Amino acid sequence: MRGSPGMIETGRDLDIVAEEFANQPVAIIEWEFAQYEPELRLDMITASGAPNVPATMIDSSRLFTRSWYPDYPDHFRNMLNSSLNRPSRADIVSSWVRNEMYIEVSGSITNKSGFELNTANKARIQVLAYEDYKNTATHTSSRIGRGHGFVAISSLADGASMNFSVPFYMATTPENWDNVHFVTLVDYHLPGNGMVNSLPVFEGVYDQLNAVFAYPEGEEPITDFNVEPTEIVADIHEDDLAMISFDVSITGSPYQTWSATVDQDFVLLDPAEGPINSTMVVTFDKEKLVEGEQTATITVVDGADLYQKTISVKVTYTLAEDPEPDPFMLYFPMIMNGESEE
């Protein structure tokens, strides 16, 4: 989420949601437009029909608000949850190097959007730099934008990968470089130019495929990625009225995401992807089970494809026994032949 701290109320409400979403894969960045604000951010707002600032946006202006409204915390929560509940549509791995104020972020992306990214839809790789720094006395948390760079994507087919490099200079000098973070994202212009202006949350004309934190070049990100349990054993009977289910806990360091696949169609996953520190429910499709024992493997990977965990699944399916037939009795009529008395 990116905002402008131009109003005391906006900054206060961003503090509230920043604390609530501290352990989620969320970066809240504020641009002090009196000092510096990325030109592309202004372009996205203007293209979406909002020429005035301050404005608070998410997913490259897919959703944004202007000015301030009394229910801002709820609007911010809804915007953030809307983003967190969407599937990732690009895999990004990126790292950074610094020489004084000069930054270069490089890495690779894989397009999973379902369409080509190109100059026609204004696809870009953007890097946002921000510092954990309380820039105004109105804030209880800290997050000030310090720099921005981007490169255009000329052509990247769905399913294809490419390497990238984004060089730029920081716009303002950080107070402490140890508190500076770099976010790499991929976005594009939505088809058409229509936007929905329904106060207080607007729908913009750009959208984001994914965003990740970059890490220092030469260093693997310090992360923890755990999946429990690693084994599921289920006994299912044809006559069972309710289907058994298992909760799988997926935990790790903040800002990660995950996705899961399974190699057999009798296993059902809900959801099949999500933010770190969440739960996936495993259940089964009884119509696709066969009598006896069957096995499957669930594979869970993190969003940067750095970690992979597997869950072994064994299901024993028992068919209902045929009921005992009712006793079958045969009745034979008896004909009595006798002599009649005269």
Predicted pLDDT at 219 = 73
Predicted pLDDT at 260 = 94
Predicted pLDDT at 302 = 83
Same domain assignment for residues 111 and 258: no
Same domain assignment for residues 148 and 278: no
**Cβ(268)–Cβ(274) below 8 Å:** no
Same domain assignment for residues 202 and 272: no
Predicted pLDDT at 329 = 62
The kind and range of the H/E element at 334 are: none
How many CB atoms are closer than 10 A to CB 340? 4
Same domain assignment for residues 233 and 314: yes
**Cβ(147)–Cβ(103) below 8 Å:** yes
Look at residue 291 and tell me if it is in a domain: yes
Predicted pLDDT at 119 = 96
Look at residue 328 and tell me if it is in a domain: no
Q: 3-class SS at 18?
A: helix
Predicted pLDDT at 113 = 94
Q: Which residues, in sequence order, are bridge partners of residue 109?
A: 92, 162
Predicted pLDDT at 5 = 46
Per residue in 281-292, pLDDT tens?
Answer: 999 999 999 999
Look at residue 254 and tell me if it is in a domain: yes
Q: Is the pTM of this model over 0.85?
A: no
Look at residue 325 and tell me if it is in a domain: no
Per residue in 57-116, pLDDT tens?
Answer: 889 888 888 755 666 788 888 888 888 888 889 988 899 999 999 999 999 999 999 999
Choose the final residue of a domain: 196, 216, 236.
216
State residue 81 phi and psi, 5-degree precision: -65, -35
Look at residue 333 and tell me if it is in a domain: no
Predicted pLDDT at 327 = 62
Same domain assignment for residues 208 and 229: no
Look at residue 167 and tell me if it is in a domain: yes
Q: Which residues, in sequence order, are bridge partners of residue 166?
A: 105
Look at residue 251 and tell me if it is in a domain: yes
Same domain assignment for residues 177 and 296: no
Same domain assignment for residues 262 and 309: yes
The residue range of the domain holding 52 is 2-216
Q: Quote the number of domains for the chain.
A: 2
Regions of the chain with pLDDT less than 70 = 1-9, 23, 32-37, 41-42, 45-54, 67-71, 135-142, 192-199, 220-223, 254-255, 304-305, 323-342
Same domain assignment for residues 6 and 75: yes
Same domain assignment for residues 92 and 154: yes
Three-state SS for 302-328 is ECCCCCEEEEEEEEEEECCCCCCCCCC
Per residue in 201-227, pLDDT tens?
Answer: 778 888 999 998 898 887 765 567 899
Same domain assignment for residues 136 and 272: no
Of the chain, the end-to-end C-alpha distance in Å amounts to 117
Predicted pLDDT at 218 = 79
Same domain assignment for residues 233 and 210: no
Look at residue 313 and tell me if it is in a domain: yes
Q: 3-class SS at 158?
A: coil
Same domain assignment for residues 13 and 112: yes
> How many whole angstroms separate alpha carbon 128 and alpha carbon 168?
10
